[in-house]
Amino acid sequence: MSPAVESDLAHLSERQDPRLLRAIDAVAPGTELREGIDNIVHARTGGLIVVGETEEFAFMLSGGIRLDIDYTPAMLYQVAKMDGAILINGEASKITWANVQMMPDPTIHSSETGTRHRTAERISKQVDALVIAISQRREVVSLYLDGAKYILQDIPSVLAKSNQALATLNKYRSRLDELSQRLTRSEFNGSVVLYDALAVLQRSELVSRMAIEVERYIVELGTEGRLIEMQLEETMVGVNADRSALIRDYSIEDTEESLQYVAEQVAALSHQDVLDFGALAEILGYDRKINTLDFPIEPRGYRLLGRVPRLPKLVVQKIVQQFGSLDEALQAPDEELASVDGVGPSRAKEIREGVRRLQESVLSDRFLNT
């Protein structure tokens, strides 16, 4: 792992809380709630908006005007001209109260200094609601959820960060493709060592984590993120399927339960532990102290056979179950391969041709890169 990659990895955000992502999505560009918030920001009136079911925090309301009217961005802008908080129902379809004084528990610790933001933080810690504090002078929009604070950034800044993250993702994907091709060549040559498989597993996890980072930006961009989303989908084609096949090929135990377990354990690793081949080897079922560069392993065939065009996963599984390893499947006579349930003579020829083309492809790639 190069120092540059380690540096990129160290700056990744942690996997996002689904509730926070839903909150960001609710105020993303293109939503009516975001339009109303932007109107308040531009008018420099400031505001405190609580999104949730009023019954859950009615005990902290004091005064105010009960409205129960349909939500519109224009109406939100109008009621924000008053000093108090604005209450909106959980679906953001109605403005229920306006000009309300919120009185959360004053003993709840708050790290905020301003009155509005301190109130917002305490409300979010005390009840299940999304609290939005709009600064009057600084034009900053802060989201509070379960006491955590998230500051909405302007669209140009988010676009710049998302494009930077996408560029890093493309770099990771290019390296993943290189390592994957090297592993495929080793599989054809019968010279795979544990290091080769772990390198691909590690890189695929890094790619997946960076994709999550890009997805978070897409959520925040709302309708402005469609182009980034299209680029992300194109970049991620085949990554998850190839990783699953890799795990089935090289984990000690070949079951659906083992596949799920390995995938969950790898995803749960810290960024530092993802860089540790010993930790990855242990998850696959090997001794973490093993010398990965000198430890030969044999693929079962899920990954390579899964790349044969129009070959169903169920047929791949039956071939692996029949022969036990990729080498045995490739060396088997045509009649024996055709006898596998779901194969037959015609499909057996297609498999042979597909494997031959894959082999030619990886050999030509190696020739072009030398």
Q: State pLDDT tens for residues 141-159.
A: 999 999 999 999 888 999 9
289 plus 310 within the same structural domain? no
251 plus 286 within the same structural domain? yes
Contact call for residues 2 and 130 (beta carbons, < 8 A): no
Residue 210 lies in a domain: yes
Whether the CA torsion 181, 185, 188, 193 is positive or negative: it is negative
Domain harbouring 198, CATH code: 1.20.1260.110
- Per-residue buried b or exposed e for 193-206, using 16+ beta carbons within 10 Å of the residue's own CB: bbbbbbbbbbbbbb
Give the per-residue pLDDT at 13. 45
Q: pLDDT tier at 40 (50, 70, 90 boundaries)?
A: very high
Residue 178 lies in a domain: yes
137 plus 157 within the same structural domain? no
246 plus 183 within the same structural domain? yes
Count of domains for the chain: 3
Residue 157, exposed/middle/buried by CB under 10 A (0-12, 13-18, 19+)?
Answer: exposed
5 plus 45 within the same structural domain? no
Residue 20 lies in a domain: no
Give the per-residue pLDDT at 341. 94
Residue 23 lies in a domain: no
Q: Between 364 and 230, whose confidence is greater?
A: 230
- Domain span at residue 314 reads 301-370
Residue 22 lies in a domain: no
Asked which of 88, 119, 151 is the last residue of a domain, the reply is 151
291 plus 324 within the same structural domain? no
Q: Using CA atoms, how far apart are residues 298 and 104, in angstroms rounded to an integer? A: 62
Residue 359 lies in a domain: yes
Map 25-44 to HEC letters: HHCCCCCHHHHHHHHHHHHC
92 plus 126 within the same structural domain? yes
Give the per-residue pLDDT at 296. 96
Angle at the Cα of 20 from the Cα atoms of 19 and 24, rounded to 5 degrees:
120
262 plus 128 within the same structural domain? no
Q: Give SS3 for 95.
A: strand
The average pLDDT across 110-127 equals 93
Q: What is the pTM of this model?
A: 0.81
Asked if residue 9 has pLDDT above 50, the reply is no
164 plus 293 within the same structural domain? yes
Contact call for residues 194 and 292 (beta carbons, < 8 A): yes
Asked which of 125, 151, 177 is the last residue of a domain, the reply is 151
Domain harbouring 316, CATH code: 1.10.150.20
Angle at the Cα of 63 from the Cα atoms of 57 and 66, rounded to 5 degrees:
75
300-342 per-position pLDDT tens digit? 999 999 999 999 999 999 999 999 999 999 999 999 999 999 9
Domain harbouring 47, CATH code: 3.40.1700.10
Where do we find the tokens 């057996």? Answer: 348
Of 180, 153, 195, 148, which is closest to residue 34 (Cα–Cα)?
153
237 plus 160 within the same structural domain? yes
Give the per-residue pLDDT at 16. 60
Asked which of 277, 299, 321 is the last residue of a domain, the reply is 299
Residue 45 lies in a domain: yes
Which tokens sit at 271?
């960024």
Phi-psi region of 77 (alpha: psi -120 to 50; beta: other; left: phi over 0): alpha
182-239 per-position pLDDT tens digit? 999 999 999 999 999 999 999 999 999 999 999 999 999 999 999 999 999 999 999 9
208 plus 269 within the same structural domain? yes
Of 294, 320, 292, which is closest to residue 306 (Cα–Cα)?
320
97 plus 174 within the same structural domain? no
